[in-house]
Amino acid sequence: MNNHRFILQPYKGVGSRHCCPSCHKRRCFSRYIDTEKQISFPDDVGRCDHEQSCGYHLTPKEYFERNLQSKPHHRDFATPSACRAKPTEQQKPTSFIASETVAQTLHGYEKNNLYLFLRSKFGAEEALRLMKDYRVGTSKHWPGSCVFWQTDINGCVRTGKVMLYDAETGKRVKEPYNHVTWVHPLLRLPDFNLRQCFFGEHLLPMNRGKPVAIVESEKTALVTAYYLPEYVWIASGGKNGCFNYDALRVLRGHQVILYPDIGATDQWRQKLTQLRNLGIKANIFNYLEEIATDDERTAGLDIADYLLQIEPDQEVMQAMIRRNPMLQKLIDDLQLTLVSVERYDPDTDTSHKLSKTEKQ
């Protein structure tokens, strides 16, 4: 008799088998399900049938280790008292990605859709600066994809998240499947022990005097870092992401402000307790949640979606404010002024004006 709560979905025809997030072969991926029907796992929690050629397998246990707030209190994940009684037992060391591997990706931005999108908004110079500052690489896994390297406070790379964006809209490509995967399973590194850190965490030591702003999306961290450089913008990589005590310790000594996506504010408000238990001064920016329209709430917009509506021309900006009065309130709340910045784009051999916000 199988007493496990989390099991691979039983085969019930081709509809119960899916596209593998690693090798991308169709109808070969089995997802994990909760037999108690209380937890819905992300689409990448499961096992590929091609054990030799692919070998991708993300178990519920590994998922909960990365997302401790989602972890249920259940016998499948209970820690035996004998294990708790051994505080001297060493934890398995964190695995890292070789610096040579990372360096091989830090170029080729003309083929990187995220860079192309940022360049269209901010100009080539600023887009390149953001990619370099945050150590965003170019991946060959999907044409046009990028890799967000998780570089910790000591400069060591924990892993990388490979994602594909549309070069024109800047939106994630989710059809015909969600284009997101991880570097460590792609490299097939043996016995890899992943302990995630915040994306952008490596910027903390050189910006000790700045408050830290936490967002969900890596792309949002890049966009907000352009508009609001008085903060150090880092990303949790999801609603739960790096919100565990081990990862949060690096924020000690910093003032922290949480900027959740619309719809995630209540969940993130609970994380304030974790931060404050570590002696970290933390607050939450909940204005977006309070004034969001039904459509904006359904879309799950975040602060970057609003900042990107700021256009170079003041007349255009005023027109945008008339269509969406919240933009003006956002600018006022963040105490921003709009300045015009001339940028030269070497790729098009033209100069053009951009708008950039500055703290008053």
Residues 53-83: tens digit of each pLDDT: 677 788 888 777 666 556 665 444 433 333 3
User: Which strand ranges, in their side-by-side order, compose the sheet holding 146-151?
Assistant: 136-138, 146-151, 157-163, 180-182
Residue 189 lies in a domain: yes
Residue 147 lies in a domain: yes
Long-range CB contacts for residues 179-182, cutoff 8 Å, separation at least 24: 179/142, 179/145, 180/21, 180/44, 181/21, 181/22, 181/44, 181/141
Residue 327 lies in a domain: no
Same structural domain for residues 98 and 176?
yes
Residue 82 lies in a domain: no
Distance CA 296, CA 265 (A): 14
pLDDT, residue 329, reads: 67
pLDDT, residue 322, reads: 54
**Which residues touch 161 (CB under 8 Å, ≥6 apart)?**
147, 148, 150, 180, 181, 182, 183, 199, 218, 237
The owner of tokens 């508009």 is 227
Q: Give, as one character, the DSSP assignment of residue 94.
A: P
Cα dist. 241→65, 66, 82, 194, 338 in Å?
A: 10, 7, 29, 13, 33
Same structural domain for residues 63 and 117?
no
Could you tell me the two tokens for 24? 């991308």
β 350-359/336-345 pair status:
antiparallel
* Euclidean distance between the first and the last CA atom of the chain, given in angstroms as a whole number: 66
Could you tell me the two tokens for 286? 């909940």
Same structural domain for residues 115 and 178?
yes
Residue 130 lies in a domain: yes
pLDDT, residue 86, reads: 37
Residue 217 lies in a domain: no
Q: Which of 74, 102, 119 is the last residue of a domain?
A: 74
Task: Using 50 as the pLDDT threshold, list the residues of the chain that sit under it.
Answer: 1, 74-89, 312-316, 338-346, 348-357, 359-360
pLDDT, residue 123, reads: 95
Distance CA 256, CA 280 (A): 7
Same structural domain for residues 99 and 189?
yes
Same structural domain for residues 108 and 184?
yes
pLDDT, residue 233, reads: 97
Check: CB of residue 197 under 8 Å from CB of residue 250.
yes
Could you tell me the two tokens for 109? 């931005």
**Which residues touch 167 (CB under 8 Å, ≥6 apart)?**
113, 114, 116, 117, 120, 144
Same structural domain for residues 67 and 145?
no
Same structural domain for residues 56 and 134?
no
Which residue range(s) make up the domain with 129?
93-195
Residue 144 lies in a domain: yes
Residue 132 lies in a domain: yes
Same structural domain for residues 67 and 106?
no
* Half-sphere exposure of residue 37: CA atoms within 13 angstroms, side-chain side: 0
| H or E segment and range at residue 307 | helix 303-307
Cis? peptide before 176, omega within 30° of 0? yes
Please count the structural domains in the chain: 2
**Which residues touch 250 (CB under 8 Å, ≥6 apart)?**
152, 153, 197, 198, 201, 204
Same structural domain for residues 69 and 99?
no
Check: CB of residue 26 under 8 Å from CB of residue 19.
yes
Q: Which of 149, 167, 195 is the last residue of a domain?
A: 195
Q: Which of 46, 74, 102 is the last residue of a domain?
A: 74
Same structural domain for residues 190 and 124?
yes
Same structural domain for residues 68 and 98?
no
Of 89, 185, 102, 99, give the one whose Cα is nearest residue 139.
Answer: 102
